[in-house]
């Protein structure tokens, strides 16, 4: 059975330097909610990667569901960041690393 995850790369927008603690709090609360719902595999900020704030790897049933979550991300919805979303086919021991 194919297993897919969806990788959101959060890219800093022109106004990213105006992000406040309140914005970050809304961002973290959103992550907590999604994690509690079982929709996040992994997330975190990048360090030393210019123009990129971080990533979220979603465990959703479809690309469309993951994209809807991307659009609700406070950093994106409030105009501080943009995103790219990619589908990642999981290669692991359960599927012999896609061999």
Domain ranges of the chain: 4-90
What confidence tens digit (pLDDT) does each residue in 63-80 have? 999 999 999 999 999 999
pTM of the model: 0.94
**Architecture of the domain whose range is 4-90:** 2-Layer Sandwich (3.30)
Question: What is the dihedral angle through the alpha carbons of 80, 65, 4, 45, rounded to the nearest 10 degrees?
Answer: 20
Mean model confidence pLDDT for the chain:
97
What is the DSSP track for 5-63? EEEEEEEE-TTGGG--HHHHHHHHHHHHHHHHTT-EEEEEE-SS-TTEEEEEEE--S-H
What confidence tens digit (pLDDT) does each residue in 29-45 have? 999 999 999 999 999 99
**Mapping DSSP to helix (H, G, I), strand (E, B) and coil, where does residue 88 land?**
strand
Rounded percentage of the chain residues whose pLDDT exceeds 90: 98
């Amino acid at each position: 059975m194919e297993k897919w995850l969806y990788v959101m790369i959060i890219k800093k927008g022109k106004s990213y330097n105006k992000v406040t603690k309140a914005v970050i709090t809304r961002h973290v609360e959103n992550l907590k909610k999604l994690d509690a719902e079982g929709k996040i595999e992994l997330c975190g900020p990048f360090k030393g990667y210019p123009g990129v704030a971080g990533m979220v790897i979603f465990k959703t049933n479809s690309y469309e569901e993951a994209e809807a979550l991307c659009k609700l991300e406070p950093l994106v919805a409030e105009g501080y960041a943009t995103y790219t979303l990619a589908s990642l086919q999981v290669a692991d021991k359960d599927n012999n690393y896609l061999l």
